[in-house]
Amino acid sequence: MIGGGRGSFIGAVHRMAAALDGHIELVGGAFSSDPERSKLSGADLFLDPQRCYGTYQEMITTEAGLPENIRIELVSIVTPNHMHFGPAMMALDHGFHVVCDKPLCLTLDEAKQLAEKVKSSGLLFALTHNYTGYPMVKQAKQMVAHGELGHIRRVVVEYPQGWLSTALETTQQKQAAWRTDPSQSGVAGAMGDIGTHAENLIEYVTGLKIESLCADLHTHIPGRKLDDDGSVLLRFGNGARGVLCASQISAGEENNLRLRVYGEKGSLDWSQMEPNSLVARWLDKPMQVFRTGGIGLFREAEMHTRFPAGHPEGYLEAFANIYRNVAYCLQANLTNEKAHPAYFDCPTIEDGVRGMEFIEAVVKSGKDDSVKWIKF
């Protein structure tokens, strides 16, 4: 693991997600740019001090030199955005598979270089767009793919949070500090941090591509350098229209990602904060509610559920589905076993490139009040 030392949020999430199904074992890491801190973080995790490194370069070169049956196979990159590209390229160069947190990197150019490298290396690269790991998101995707909604006409995705409603970054709060710092976060604030999740969720579920967009981005907190609130009009290749909102100053909101997809025959409504229900409303029959572990689900939804219906699965289980599928993919590489294709469903480098395209387009639109539509 690269990053995820003491005080990190997402590092712990990756560790729990990887541990959940017992397929992946954490054996070492470069948990911090401060070697001492890295060792202490490793000790917290009962790891061999020998394998707790002071830099990712040291980790990758050292591990690459270990015997195959000992050395790591997979590197998880859980650092801030500006520290994704370097570690990812180097890990791939040394033959390690990669799981990387989102967004992919800082620029579309970096993203394309990474995509090239992944392609040429033949290694696995998974991006943790974890919200696509929810069973009811899989169900929604299948219902759309099977034409149950008919032609898609309208898509609404919103991702309001309230935690940046104050200048939290001025209080040494680590999560806020790097996310509002262009040198670590990139050109986008809320749009990069959560807007890309929203964009990925739309395209994952509907299979449609956003073709052009028109954004109004704003920074409400004086002195903040990146957008903290934005709304975007969307046009899709098939003629559908939509709206994407991503805000971190929506005071009182927790982590309220919600997707609604409207087709000719009916619509779907899913909320991350009550993730085990998928509401389907129809023109010609009563409203239905599909439930995690419940009845009438596609195999793709069933295969990403661990418990019987009514035993709520949450954020961590969805996140763990990404890691579990990574493990299945790696096993399949080794064994050529023929598992159900649904097991090989995890966000790819292409999703990462797409996210960077979105960030560049939405920031460009947000900065320019003279042009209405930006193609991308």
**Positions in 78-117 near a second copy (CB under 8 A):** none
Shortest distance, CB of residue 231 to a second copy, whole angstroms? 5
Structure tokens at 280: 């389907």
Among 177, 233, 330, 332, binds a second copy (CB under 8 A): 233
Q: Which amino acid is at 327?
A: A
Among 249, 322, 361, 362, binds a second copy (CB under 8 A): 249
* Distance, CA of 12 to CA of 139 (rounded, Å): 28
CB nearer a second copy, residue 183 or residue 371: 371
Shortest distance, CB of residue 129 to a second copy, whole angstroms? 15
Among 209, 285, 340, 367, binds a second copy (CB under 8 A): 285
**16 is a contact residue toward a second copy (CB under 8 A):** yes
Query: Which residues, 164 to 183, sit near a second copy by CB under 8 A?
Result: 165-166
**22 is a contact residue toward a second copy (CB under 8 A):** yes
Among 105, 136, 156, 208, binds a second copy (CB under 8 A): 156
Place of tokens 């050292």: 62
Q: Are the C-beta atoms of residues 185 and 192 closer than 8 Å to each other? A: yes
Candidates 20-28, 180-188, 199-207, 340-348; binding stretch for a second copy (CB under 8 A): 20-28
Size of the site for a second copy (CB under 8 A): 88
Among 142, 256, 331, 348, binds a second copy (CB under 8 A): 256
Going by C-alpha positions, the residue among 330, 319, 359 that lies closest to residue 111 is 359
DSSP per-residue string spanning 109-136: HHHHHHHHHHHHHT--EEE--GGGGSHH
> For a second copy, what does the binding mask look like between residues 190 and 229, x meaning CB under 8 A?
------------------------x-x-x-x--------x
Residue 29's φ and ψ, nearest 5 degrees, are 180, 165
* Distance, CA of 180 to CA of 361 (rounded, Å): 19
CB atoms within 10 A of CB 282: 14
**163 is a contact residue toward a second copy (CB under 8 A):** yes
Q: Are the C-beta atoms of residues 208 and 253 closer than 8 Å to each other? A: no
Q: Look at strands 97-100 and 74-77 and give their pairing.
A: parallel
CB nearer a second copy, residue 110 or residue 229: 229
**344 is a contact residue toward a second copy (CB under 8 A):** no
Query: Which residues, 57 to 76, sit near a second copy by CB under 8 A?
Result: none
**263 is a contact residue toward a second copy (CB under 8 A):** yes
**43 is a contact residue toward a second copy (CB under 8 A):** no
CB nearer a second copy, residue 46 or residue 70: 46
**41 is a contact residue toward a second copy (CB under 8 A):** no
Structure tokens at 60: 């990758």
Those residues with Cβ within 8 angstroms of residue 240's Cβ, 6 or more apart along the chain or in another chain? 152, 153, 154, 155, 206, 208
Structure tokens at 154: 């309208």
Residue 52's φ and ψ, nearest 5 degrees, are -105, 110
**147 is a contact residue toward a second copy (CB under 8 A):** no
Among 37, 82, 265, 364, binds a second copy (CB under 8 A): 265
127-153 burial by CB neighbour count: b if 16+ within 10 A, else e?
bbbbbbbbbbbbbbbbbbeeeebeebb
**20 is a contact residue toward a second copy (CB under 8 A):** yes
CB atoms within 10 A of CB 225: 14
> For a second copy, what does the binding mask look like between residues 289 and 328, x meaning CB under 8 A?
xxx-xxxx---------xxxxxxxxxxxx-----------
Q: What is the CA radius of gyration of the chain?
A: 21
